[in-house]
């Protein structure tokens, strides 16, 4: 699993560098918006959706991809299949407010 996360972390780090770069090769006029704002609903209160590790193990495939977050002794996993429908989950992990995006 770590081997699969390393390229993702690297991509996020490089993506941040590109995001602050002022040079661009794309004309902003060529960007087309396909969906209106808020067309894909974010999950604002995931608490009713949380399951125990035992329930998750019973319901999920062994190789199912997730985004995992651990903070202050608390861990949450967000299945990619779920994030593909909602793209954003606002949650609290270890007392910290986070946004998980896909």
Tally the domains of the chain. Answer: 1
- Residue 76, domain member (yes or no): yes
Taking residues 17-46, what's their average pLDDT? 77
Specify the pLDDT at position 20.
Answer: 57
Give the residue carrying structure tokens 């009713």. Answer: 48
- Domain holding 47, by residue range, is 41-102
Mind listing the pLDDT tens digit for each residue in 42-98?
Answer: 888 887 777 877 888 888 888 989 988 999 999 888 888 888 888 888 899 999 999
Indicate if the alpha-carbon torsion angle 15, 82, 41, 39 is positive or negative.
Answer: positive
Has residue 4 got a pLDDT over 80?
no
Alpha helix locations (H) across 21-79? 53-59
- Residue 51, domain member (yes or no): yes
Q: How far apart are CA 70 and CA 44, in angstroms?
A: 19
Provide the 10 A C-beta neighbour count for residue 18: 9
- Residue 99, domain member (yes or no): yes
Mind listing the pLDDT tens digit for each residue in 13-24?
Answer: 555 555 555 666
Specify the pLDDT at position 30.
Answer: 86
Specify the pLDDT at position 97.
Answer: 93
Give the residue carrying structure tokens 């329930």. Answer: 55
Alpha helix locations (H) across the chain? 2-20, 53-59, 80-86
Contact call for residues 69 and 100 (beta carbons, < 8 A): yes
């Amino acid at each position: 699993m770590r081997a699969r996360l390393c390229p993702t972390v690297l991509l996020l780090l490089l993506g941040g560098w590109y995001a602050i770069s002022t040079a661009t090769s794309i004309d902003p006029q060529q960007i087309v918006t396909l969906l209106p704002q808020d067309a894909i609903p974010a999950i604002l209160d995931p608490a009713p959706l949380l399951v125990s590790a035992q329930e998750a193990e019973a319901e999920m495939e062994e190789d199912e991809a997730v985004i995992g977050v651990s903070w202050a002794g608390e861990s949450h996993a967000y299945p990619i299949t779920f994030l593909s429908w909602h793209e954003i989950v606002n949650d609290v992990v270890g007392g910290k407010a986070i946004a998980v995006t896909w």
